[in-house]
Structure 1
Amino acid sequence: MATELELKLMVHPEYLKSACDFLDEFCEKNVSSSSARQATLDLMNGYYDTADGLLLENGIALRIRAVNQAYIQTVKTRGSSRIGMHARGEWEWSLPSDALDLTLLKEVPLSDALQDMAWSRDLIEVFRTDFKRHVWLIHFEDAVIEAVCDEGEVSSTFGRDSICELELELKSGPETALYSFAKYIATDIPVQVSIVSKAQKGSRLKHRRIEFPKKPNAQASMMSFAEYWYETWLVYWEAMFYLKDEALLQPIRTALQQLKQCVPAQISEQLESLDQRYDAFFKANDESLLSGLAGTLETGIMMLETGQWLNKQLD
């Protein structure tokens, strides 16, 4: 088993080429560090679950990936919360064909609800993700980071959704380098932190249901509320573009107002400035609201600044 630690960034389609160009230029400027672009991959992935979503309910994503005429079976677990980052268990096995081999799951610590394997008789392909993956190996601040830009779609019998994102996965070195490199990108390219996985995108095609974090009880610590309002901000932001509903800017602003009461003064002031920027966009009230919001650098920078501060509090 490997533990995957990654930071996922939304990239709106009109900025994807700029993100790829930025990473190419970084590698060209840092060729002595061995930073370099890797081969571009075409990835075709089938995700399997029961019709009622039993695996997803128990925090399991099961897929078969076809790449370069090879097949890989992968299981990912929900993992631990890292406030804006994905920290998950991951198991991978090479397969001779595109048929599932469920005997391999004996290596995976399944929940009690899955132990009897009765669900295995009811598995179906519930959705697909098919996308082109641009890959860079980045050496930054004593860390090795795999940066990938994915563009494609997730599809099922219930509909389709686009995939357009940049993922930074830590291969070695300090975790702080993930946020540092993400902020380095965000100062030039409009990106925003996302906590919605491809598996969640595929699953929600059926119900169009947005998954929100659980609100702490009234006796919870200030940090618990800071984490809650931060992740609420991230979820509403992604949902606003998924649903193409600019009215969701209002709950985003509510989350910011609550969050700025839970963080240090400097971050609170920056969040207030960001909220004022949103207010100006909202009052303009024209058809370019979503595209204007998508192009702001300040959103991504503050998502990363706040997320980095929250993660430091866990150390």
Structure 2
Amino acid sequence: MQQRALGPFQVSAIGLGCMNLSHAYGAPVSPEQGERVLLAALDAGVTLFDTAALYGFGANETLVGRVLKNHRSRFTLASKCGMQGVDVNGDGKLVRVIDGRPATLRQTCEDSLRRLQTDVIDLYYLHRWDKTVPIEDSVGALADLVRAGKIRSIGLSEVSAATLRRAHAVHPIAALQTEYSLWTRNPEIAVLDACRELGVAFVAFSPVGRGFLCGELTDVATLHPADIRRAMPRFAPENYAANLQLLEGCRALAQEMGCSLAQLAIAWLLHQGEDIIPIPGTTSVAHLHDDLGAAQVALSAPVLARLGALINQHTVVGQRYNAQGTSEVDTEVFAA
């Protein structure tokens, strides 16, 4: 596996986003299947595993910790704080809460270390910026965790270039994570340039467009009732039907390049810069190996241009998030 720099670490050019195993896209897979995917990724040379306190309200960190604790020296471990499940009403039912207060971040870290069965988290992201708390205060708390030896480096997720610069002035930011793919180009507005200016690695989640760019989801009516894509405008039936038409040209290009649609999408990202690290997620070992094969796909400048012209912010129908989701992030958006 090719390697790329992420803060003080050298990691596989393609990491593994672990969320899918426990969260967001319907019923979680069995612990046994989750274990198969994690160990297959490790055996295939993946050295960046990305989880969060939110995923499965701790279940994903518990899974990653149990399965990978005996291999801890072989990979870079990333997790996230600032968004987690909280029993707000005292009825035992956890709800998602964004909370960037320093005391909360310190407690979340302790909880994550316990679930992950490790003494230190290599890369600890602020999952969402709590806009009621100055970013300087939240990052200051994470800097305290670095000094205490609880975490090795700090990351940010779904923030703007301006917020990144404010945070970086408090403590060096190792990585910024946000959605980036052929059909989500928002990082190209400003934050990708800011990362390069400051020497911050860019970690791209949802590199295959939450499954869209794999070409296998042809009917959104088949999505699990609890699948978060049901609330995303691009996956609304009418919008999705229009977006599916964009894949025809991509299929022709994939055939021309001798690769799968998913490999084409991830390879496009890898070619956008040596500082970009995609972290596709999957519940399938077969899909995992297909995703990782993207590292071997070489795309010429003309092919990159053709692909980029097919799917971009001008051709995709629908916004990335609904109104609530948009209000919770701090990323730049294209003008309507």
TM-score, reference length from structure 2: 0.26
Larger radius of gyration: 1
- What's the TM-score once normalised by structure 1's chain length? 0.28
Going by fraction, where is strand more abundant, 1 or 2? 1
